[in-house]
Amino acid sequence: MNRPPPARARPEPVQVIKQRRDGALAALTGNVPYIGFLGIRFERHGDELTATLPFSDMLIGNPLLPALHGGATAAFLETTAIIELAWALLWPEFEAGRIDPTTLGPDTLPRLPKTVDFTVDYLRSGLPRDAYARARINRSGRRYASVHVEAWQDNRARLFAQGTGHFIMPHRAGQADAGDD
């Protein structure tokens, strides 16, 4: 018979993990006034984020249809992209215990990536109901990142808008000044 495997470190209790990760997400998103202004919320499954833009009358651009304002849609996509990127940068930091999410406030929050350009492709009218978005980081280097975002409403397969943006990564202390990764 095989011997039992050597004892491993006990996994962290699930509540501890969730508290840390949800705390980090709340700190990241809760300190940006514009996210609160639009009412955008982020839901987390593991490290995957889904953004929700709950419908409100002030998001309307065309009262005759009615339809979401293209600017509100653009802002939703761009916000989702920035938070995804910041989240991907922060995740290893708080998972390794280098950043304590409970200490993150408006003044101690790590710097957010800066948008260089953002292109929105409007595929169909934004309906007067909740919208969802998920971002995918297509490239993330030391200085630049390229992120794609998809937004949908009732049907995940029927996007109402998609966007692509380029971002400058925030400078991180202690970073090796080597070539782009």
Cβ of residue 97: shortest distance to other proteins, in angstroms?
24
Kindly state the helix (H) or strand (E) to which residue 90 belongs, with its residue range. helix 70-95
Chain CA centroid to CA 17, Å: 19
Measured from the CB atom, is 141 or 170 closer to other proteins?
Answer: 170
Residue with tokens 């029927």: 158
- Tell me if 65 contacts other proteins by CB under 8 A: yes
Q: Which is nearer to other proteins, 14 or 156 (CB)?
A: 156
Contact between 63 and other proteins (CB under 8 A)? Answer: yes
Supply 141's token pair: 């280097």
- Residue 173 contacts other proteins per CB under 8 A: no
Contact 128, 67 (CB under 8 A): yes
- By C-alpha distance, which of 137, 131, 149, 144 is closest to 171? 144
Assess 29 for contact with other proteins (CB under 8 A).
Answer: no
CB of 27 to other proteins, least distance (A): 11
Q: Which is nearer to other proteins, 26 or 74 (CB)?
A: 74
